[in-house]
Structure 1
Amino acid sequence: MSYPTHITCRNGYFYYRVKVPVDLQPHFPTHFITKSLKTTDLSVAKTISVNLEHSVQRVFTLLRTGMLDGEMITKLISEILPTTRRQLVKTLPDIPAKKHPLSKMIKQYIEFKEPEWTPKTKLEMGGVFRFLLELLGDVDVTDITRQAVLDLRANLMRLPPNLHKRYPDQTIQQLLDRSDIHHMSTKSVNKHVGGIGGLLRYCLDIGVVTVNCATGLKLSEKGRVDEERSSYDVDDLKSIVANLPRKPTLPERYWIPLIGCYSGMRLNEICQLYVEDVQLVEGVWCFSINGAKDKRLKNQASERVLPIHSKLIGLGFIEHWEKVKKAGAPRLWPNLTWTEVHGYSNSFGNWYQRFNREHVTKDPKKVFHSFRHLVTDTLKQAGVQDSLIAELVGHSHGNHAMTMSRYGKRYQPKVLLESLKLLDYGVEIRPWQSS
């Protein structure tokens, strides 16, 4: 017979039994608290155990505050232990108030959040917390004040992005004293402030702190969302196509930028394509963008069927696809390998970043994602309706998303293709010549 949580039965009598949390076990003479409920009636046992559970959890919460001296700890523990165990507590040494160093609470928080974080999020948050430890030191989280978080935010606003990579030989204080460096974006500052906010919220939930001092301290992002990245212009496109490599052994370096230019697909959506994702749908060559196998989608709206622009077909893309298919390769870009954090886009993304800065532009706002801005802006200026653009680039249909998903079918490939034909940049491109 099964019993409610924390209730066990022994020789017909019911007992309350709960495991002492790992972080509190140093205070206790036992890892389990077991108290007789002195009844054989389950309904009575349930009633008594509710009061016991309240008392036990109250003691656990108070112990985690880190504000109790040894005498107070001993008294609290004695209140919830059976009589036979209380003498053991009295003989314990005077235990100082428990401390909660930032490094320990960060580790505990990451372990708590890890099941719901993607590998990429875990990597990013690891960097955020490493940064926080450098700026704040391994302080006790109970000593973090609102002013401390405000000072932290002010310092973040004066520091450069990726400082460990860009300035490996300089300390944070040296960088704070410099006036000739490019500062991290508001978005990056908010990511760090949000990191400590999440940590302190966790500490609040488990009773370590009494207030989240980082609440409401994110900066207002004054720039519009469409200004976070800049679109490529015609001169950029000319530089790109003039310098695209055409090595038969590295076809992805020629095709992936062009696919981005004439589709608006996200980098990882292109990099993770399988041969089977190139399909003839209703007489139209298309990319099937889906989350099958080891592929990842940003959101539900990202799954779509996207026509292949006639420009790509004219440059020889279908011939390239047929060659890869004939060779028996399962994936369209066999050179690209999968990583847990970045999927298939990591190595290509690193190469394109170098290519972009060397041959195209020094503007930090112009990156591979600029192709996506280029496509959406070109279609918008050509008068293409928002719902069509949203479906092409894998966005939801704004306020009409629910109506469209319930009652409206997706656009047919032929309709989408008519919109894609408007992507004519007037730039001459040499065809792919495979060998």
Structure 2
Amino acid sequence: MSYPTHIICREGFFYYRMKVPVDLQPHFPTKFITKSLKTRDLSVAKTMLVNLEYAVKRVFTLLRTGILDEAMAKELVKEVSPTKQPIAAYTQALGKPAGPCLSKIIEQYMLEKQSEWTPKTKMEMDGVFKLLLDIQMDIDVTTITKQTMLDLRSKLMRLPANRYKRYPDQTIQQLLEMSDITPMSTKSVNKHIGGMAALLRYCTDEGIVPVNNATGLKLSEKKRADEDRSTYSVEDLKRIVANLPFDQTTPERYWIPLIACYSGMRLNEICQLYVADVQDVDGVWCFSVNDTKDKRLKNQASERMVPMHPKLLKLGMLEYVEKLRRSKAPRLWMNLTWMDIHGYSNGFGKWYQRFNREYVTDDAKKVFHSFRHLVTDTLKQAGVQDTVIAELVGHSHGSHAMTMSRYGKRYQPKVLLEALNLIDYGVEIRPWKG
């Protein structure tokens, strides 16, 4: 639900929130004026908004006149600033932080962000903040210094990955004292530091802390981005196609790896395809990658038309689709079920992981995503333009993105098909019969 400008909703209550203009911020204790309207009724909040807007703008105007002395300016600011309650005494008596505790700030932050995050992102952030709370305890966020963050980073670098699954009965201190554990990756450390940085950025915006002491603390990753996962070799592909199942009851186990191999599409993009997403565009059969119905896209550039490689046509892809049309099946892979976190890819992803390790390779860097690396690398070595490759696999066009989006049109399927035709792995594949 959208609300009038300067009104926000937290836990069912409405608040007035206005950013203080930059030239007037020296007069105010925080960058934002945030006042509880003490109502759950939007119509009441709108009525109160009118009076608050007038009062705030009046204060801004008077402060800009330059004729007020310091005392008068402070009194004016008090009129529109929220009243701070003297909580230090009783919170200390209860043994709690005097300022806002970390757990409460995390709760507020996640509540504000929940409309922006996908279920998967929310799940990941839940895990990040759970570990941060375990390490830092429920401290007063106003006491977090640069040294606090350096100490946190040091501990993260010594803790194992999947701490709650692998060491559920060990405390943080016990884990830090163990010498025979493999620490989490640099990428994981940076994910946790990034989560803390985002949380403290929220705190600075809200005026809770004056500075974000988590910035600039991410570790340098020595490996290149293209080394994060490996591409499949021709020998790997031979093992894949030699072991693809031909069971009529599980067609997805045959087709999904092959579509990835000849398109570079992401796993969930293939798993969530509907029959209607197989389309003839100007004489070229394509997969329409879109976010209609219950489908999801990774980003805006992901929405695209991906031509069907001639190899897939030769193997019987269109015949398979036509059979589904006749049976009125809505989706290409009716065995796959939708999950809130992973969409349609969860079940197939787990199966492929087992298949990959049993029949293909024990290289941990070779996973389903390796098909995507294989396609992009094959096209790159064939001299295909970066912008064509980017459009095929659903990436932005890098430094050309603004120019392309503003003045250019998407490549026609025929142009993209010319690029895909350059993919020939030289492996024989048994056609689908069904």
Superposition TM-score tier, normalisation by shorter sequence: 0.7 to 0.9
User: Residue 417 of structure 2 corresponds to which residue in structure 1?
Assistant: 417
Residues 357 and 20 of structure 1: CA distance in aligned 2, closer, same or farther (over 3 Å): same
CA drift of 1:219 comes to 1.5
SS in structure 1 of the partner of residue 114 of structure 2 = helix
Q: Secondary structure at the match of 1:418?
A: helix
- Give SS of 2:280's match: strand
Aligned to 1:126: 126
Aligned to 1:279: 279
The residue that corresponds to 1:258 in the other structure is 258
Deviation, 1:244, is: 1.9
Read off the aligned partner of 2:313 and give its amino acid letter.
I
Q: Write out aligned runs for 1:6-405 (5 A).
A: 20=36, 47=58, 54-55=77-78, 58=81, 60=83, 62-63=84-85, 68-69=88-89, 98-405=98-405
CA 1:20/1:240 → structure 2, altered by over 3 Å: closer, same or farther? same
Q: Distance in 2 between matches of 1:149 and 1:300?
A: 34
Cα distance change, pair 239–165 in 1 and its aligned pair in 2 (3 A)? farther
When residues 97 and 311 of structure 1 are mapped into structure 2, their CA distance, relative to the original with a 3 A threshold, is closer
8 Å contact 2:55–2:80 — kept in the other structure? no
> What's the CA shift for 1:178?
4.4
Between the two proteins, what is the percent identity of the paired residues? 65
For the residues of structure 2 that align with 1:173 and 1:55, how far apart are their CA atoms? Answer: 46
In the other structure, the counterpart of 2:28 is none
Contact between 2:287 and 2:305, CA under 8 Å: does it hold in 1? yes
Q: Is the 8 A contact 2:193 2:214 kept in 1?
A: yes
Change over 3 Å in CA distance of 1:425–1:47 after alignment to 2: closer
- Give the partner amino acid of 1:111: L
Contact 2:263 2:309 in 1 (8 A): yes
Task: Give the C-alpha shift of residue 280 in structure 1.
Answer: 1.8
Instruction: Check the 8 A contact 1:271/1:344 in 2, yes or no.
Output: yes
Instruction: Name the SS of the counterpart of 2:288 in structure 1.
Output: strand
The letter of the residue matching 2:288 is S
TM-aligned CA distance change 1:44 to 1:53, over 3 Å: closer
One-letter amino acid of the counterpart of residue 382, structure 1: A
- Per-residue CA deviation, residues 160-206 of structure 1 (Å, 9 max, x unaligned), is 32232344454444443445544333222111001111222222333
| AA in 2 matched with 1:425 | Y
Amino acid at match of 1:363: D
> Which 10-residue stretch deviates more, 141-150 or 260-269?
141-150
For 1:245 and 1:209, the matched residues in 2 are separated by: 58
CA shift digits 1:301-327 (9 cap, x unpaired): 212111111111222211211111111
CA 1:19/1:362 → structure 2, altered by over 3 Å: closer, same or farther?
A: same
1:413 to 1:270, Cα distance in 2 relative to 1, 3 A: same
Structure 1 residue 415: Cα displacement: 2.2
Q: Is the 8 A contact 1:279 1:287 kept in 2?
A: yes
Q: Is the 8 A contact 1:260 1:371 kept in 2?
A: yes
Residue 349 of structure 1: how far off its partner (Å): 1.6
Conserved 8 A contact 1:69-1:97: no
Alpha-carbon separation, structure 2, partners of 1:263 and 1:414: 14
Deviation at 1:348, TM superposition (A): 1.5
Equivalent-residue separation in structure 1 for 2:180 and 2:406 (angstroms)? 54
Does the Cα contact within 8 Å between 1:262 and 1:375 map onto a contact in 2?
yes
Q: Is the 8 A contact 1:63 1:98 kept in 2?
A: no
CA–CA separation in structure 2 for the residues paired with 1:148 and 1:160: 20
Tell which deviates more after alignment, 258-267 or 48-57.
48-57
Matched residues in 2 for 1:133 and 1:406: separation? 45
Letter paired with 2:77: H
Please state how far the C-alpha of 1:261 moved relative to its aligned partner.
Answer: 0.7
1 CA distance for matches of 2:133 and 2:397? Answer: 42
| Range 176-185 or range 284-293, more displaced | 176-185
Q: CA deviation at 1:215?
A: 1.8
What letter corresponds to residue 417 of structure 1 in structure 2? L
Larger-gyration structure (1/2): 1
Partner residue, 1:82? none
Mapped to 1, the partners of 2:35 and 2:137 lie a distance apart of: 33
Kept after mapping to 1: 8 A contact 2:157/2:189: yes
Aligned to 2:65: none
Unaligned residue ranges in structure 2 (runs of 5+): 1-5, 8-14, 17-33, 39-47, 63-72
AA partner of residue 284 (structure 2): V
How far apart are residue 405 of structure 1 and its match?
2.5
Q: Could you tell me how far apart the structure 2 residues matched to 1:146 and 1:44 are? A: 38
Give distance in 2, aligned partners of 1:277 and 1:353.
26
Deviations 1:16-51 (A, max 9, x none): xx97578xxxxxxxxxxx9xx9xxxx9899848988
Kindly indicate whether the alpha-carbon contact (under 8 Å) linking 1:264 and 1:371 is maintained by their aligned counterparts in 2. Answer: yes
- Distance, in Å, in 1 between the alignment partners of 2:227 and 2:403 is 29
CA distance in 2, matches of 1:210, 1:187: 28
Partner of 2:406: 406
Q: Distance in 2 between matches of 1:162 and 1:340?
A: 21
1:289–1:303 CA contact under 8 A, matched in 2: yes
What is the number of equivalent residue pairs in this alignment? 379
Cα distance change, pair 44–316 in 1 and its aligned pair in 2 (3 A): closer
Relative to the length of structure 1, the TM-score reads 0.78
Say whether the 8 Å CA contact 1:69–1:96 is kept in structure 2.
no
Taking a change above 3 Å as real, the CA distance of residues 365 and 56 of structure 1, as seen in their structure-2 partners, is farther
State the shift of 1:63 in Å: 4.1
| 1:426/1:164 CA distance change after superposition, 3 Å | farther
1:21–1:352 CA distance, 2 compared to 1 (3 A) = farther
Query: Which stretch shifts more, 362-371 or 406-415?
Result: 406-415
Shift of 1:147: 1.8
Question: How large is the Cα RMSD of the aligned pairs?
Answer: 3.3
> Could you tell me which amino acid in structure 1 is paired with residue 113 of structure 2?
K
Matched residues in 2 for 1:365 and 1:165: separation?
A: 22
**Structure 2 length normalisation: TM-score?**
0.78
